[in-house]
Structure formats: structure tokens, C-alpha cells
Amino acid sequence: MLKRITFNFAALMLLIVFVGTTYAWRPTGGRNYGNFEKLDQKTYNYNIVFYENINGEVASWINTDSTTRFPLTVKDTDGTLKTYNTKSEFINDIVIPAMNEFNNKISGYAFNHSGTNYGSSSSVYGQNDGISAIQIYRQSSGDGGGSAWWGLGYDEFGYKLYVGDPDTPTLSNVSSKQWNIFALRHEFIHCLFFSHKKEDLFGSTHTSNPFYSYHRLGCNLTDGTGNNFFRELNEDSMAGIDEVYNTTSYNLTLQGYVSDEYSTGYAEACLVDDSTHKIIYQAKIDTTGFYRFRLIYTNFPSTFRVLVANNKINEAYYGDHVRYNSVGYLCTSDHINQQPPNSTYWTVVNPMGGINAIANSNNWDSTTNYKARQAIKWNYSSVYSKPSPGTYSLSSMSMNRTANSLADVESVSGIQMLYSYVN
């Protein structure tokens, strides 16, 4: 499935990371969409900085004798190992394609690679020096995370990315090209002033905003047990950007209501191509039960369905999760004082599953009442035919079906909930 993006009060945030958010004041420039900041229509240059320090840090791309730690090997999109002998090869195959996903779709706005540099400072990306920067750090293996830094200047941004570089590369320990592009794209969306959304982060004050959507920026989703599924930018993501930037003419609007399971403001409606059984658009259902799809008519399938689901479909883990002895565990049965590992009450979760199960979990506690995952309430419509351009209201729906996972929804509906969409 595809996750649309969302924005928050721009004056209240500075550092946005995969696993948390902190706040600071941001200068305003009168370029607002309502109360929200947006960028001027122009090209934004980014200097790509590789962290290089001879102090022996794993994060450095040079050794203590100043020799390079390149070549860098990653897992390519076809599942084979791919080696970059130089920084330029990495930039051209990963960074620039991530930039181009926006450059090809947002009229008048562009991200541009303006130069490559190195920095002995571990925070070049966060320096207020008039230069927007992407700082690349090395880590010993696997896929890394990133964070974006706002408020450096009127049009200055920065973010960092960690890339796995094991001494002996194998398919099981290298970083994924697909992941790196996703992570870069995720941070670029932050640099467009969009943010994560979580119930416990923004609270009920913001859930009524009709242009909010979910926090899976760049269209990444987990399956509820810690496995990542990657998505390309698709029409719903771009329509979310268009709400703020008015970059494209959307000439077909489909909208409707659900009769239940909408009070949290985190339920969702999915538009499904009935010929491929794939989700092509995802929209939030607001606290009144209303949802809307904004579409480009020429891109729309000839027949379609609508799938609706409550907020449980959006939770990275459908139950409490803890860490114990540096391992992440998901609660599978309600209980108190059942110490993991215990297969009756806990299952191990992948620590890099969407949000980091270890980093974001509390330590196991014998007095806590742990709850297992809750069922997904959902339903899907009969088949609709493609209408002419215009605005149309769809039949109201009730979420009277129950499932324990996305895989269960897929099995019953035939709709491909877990797939990689490439447009």
C-alpha cells in the first residue's frame, strides 16, 4: 500500500528523524499554505558531503591513514551485489535518482546536486553556512536511518544518511540500493516541509485537518511484524504535495463516507485498480468519516474498487512491543509478568522493521499489562466504472469485516496489500 504524506506546523519543528521528533522555532517567510510553511518555486541545490575523519570512526569514509574505504557494495534492485568504486558512482545511481523522483513530478520545483565534498565535522548537514547539504555516513553493515534538519536559514536544509559498508560484503549484510533511495526520498519530503504523523506526537488538535495524512513518508510500510515493503512515489503522494504546492491539475475527484470505525482520524480508504488488484491511491478517513481521492483522469483505471480499514491497519506493530536483552518482542497474547522469550506471549520482531522495534520499545517490565495486536476492521466495495472528469460521491461503507493482518485482508479480498509498486 501507499502512504500519503503530511505536514505539521512548520514553526514548531527542527529535527525530524525516522524514530522521533524534537522541536524548535523555524523562521517564517510568508510562503504559507494556511498556517503551514512551504517552499518558493525554484531549484534547491544540495552539496553531498561524505563524512571523512582520520580518528578511526566506523562512520568515516577514510581510514586513519587517509586512504579511502571505497569501494562500497550494496544489494541491487535485482537482488545481486553491486559495487560502487567511487563516490560519484554512488551519487549517480542512488542520490540523483531519488532527487529525480521529485524533479520529474513537481512542476517548478527541483532538487539539484551542486557538488561533492567531504567534512571532518560530524554535523556538516546541520551547519548554518548558507549551503544545503546531504551528509553520508558509513556504518558497519545493513540499512541505516537518516534525519532532516530544518530552520538553518530561509531556504537552507540538511539531512544525513547512514549506509552499511561491511568489510566482507554479502547479500545478508550490505545496504540495499532500494532502501537508500527510499531513505533519501523520505528526507527530501521533510525538506518540502512535510512531517511524520503519530497519534501520540501531534494529538487531537491536528487530526481534523483535512489535508493531513499518515507518517509513512516516501511510501514505506511495515506488515505489522517488522518487515518492510517499499513504495515509489505515486499519485496519492503527489496529490498530497499538490494540496500545498498547486503544481498539477487534478480533474477527477472521488469522495465518500464510512459509517463506523473513523473516530480516531487514522482510518484509511484505498483506491484499487480492479484489473491488477493493486492499490493505486490511499487517502485518510477523517474524524467525520469522510475520505477523498484527487486524481488525474488520464492516469485512472477503467474499473476500480474502494477498500476501507480502521486505524489498526496503520500501526507499525499491532500490539505492544518491548526490548529485552537487546531483542525486540511483539506481544501476541494479553498478559502480565510473562518474561520474554516466551512463545506463548511474545514473538521476536525484526529491529529494522519500519520503526526500530528495539530503539522505540520500552524495556520489559513485570508489572505492565501488555496487550496483543488488535483486529483490523475493514470492507471493500463492488466494482465501479471509470466516470468522466468531475466530482463524484461514492456509496457509504461499513467496516463489518475483521482481519488479523494485512496478509489476511489480501487473502480474503484478492487485493494486493503487500507488493512493491513501481510507476
List phi, psi (to 5°) of 23. -125, 150
Residue whose cell numbers read 542512488 = 94
Among 261, 350, 322, 255, smallest CA distance to 295 is for 255
Which amino acid type is present at position 321? H
Give the pLDDT confidence score for residue 145 in this predicted structure: 74
Indicate whether this model's pTM tops 0.95: no
Q: Where does residue 354 rank: exposed (0-12), middle (13-18), buried (19+ CB within 10 A)?
A: buried
Answer yes or no: CATH 2.60.40.10 is held by domain 199-314+375-413.
Answer: yes
pLDDT attached to residue 132 = 86
- The span from the CA of 344 to the CA of 327, in Å, is 17
Q: What one-letter code names the amino acid at 343? A: S
What Cα–Cα distance (Å) separates residue 121 from each residue in 51, 115, 393? 7, 17, 55
How many C-beta atoms surround the C-beta of residue 121 within 10 A?
12
CB atoms within 10 A of CB 34: 9
Q: Which helix (H) or strand (E) holds 277?
A: none
Phi-psi region of 203 (alpha: psi -120 to 50; beta: other; left: phi over 0): left
Model confidence pLDDT, tens digit, residues 186-228: 788 777 776 654 432 333 333 333 333 333 333 333 333 333 4
Identify the burial level of 291 via C-beta atoms within 10 angstroms of its C-beta, where 0-12 means exposed, 13-18 middle and 19 or more buried: buried
Of 86, 72, 161, the C-alpha closest to 125 is 161
CA 7-12-13 angle, to 5 degrees, is 70
Q: What is the pLDDT of residues 267-284, one digit of tens each?
A: 889 999 999 898 888 888
Q: Can you give the pLDDT at residue 118?
A: 79
Over 70: is that where the pLDDT of 361 sits?
no
Distant-in-sequence, close-in-space partners of 325: CB < 8 Å, separation ≥ 6: none
Q: What is the pLDDT of residue 154?
A: 63
Cis status, amide bond into 341, omega within 30 of 0: yes
Of the pLDDT bands very low, low, confident and very high (cuts 50, 70, 90), residue 302 is: very high
Provide the pLDDT for residue 316: 44
Q: Which residues pair with 237 in a beta bridge?
A: none
Residue 245 cell numbers, joined: 504546492
Whole-angstrom distance, CA of residue 289 vs CA of residue 282: 15
Bridge partners (DSSP) of residue 393 are: 255
CB 143 within 8 A of CB 111: no
Q: What is the DSSP letter of 339?
A: P
CA dist 35 and 252 (Å) reads 27
Rounded percentage of the chain residues whose pLDDT exceeds 90? 35
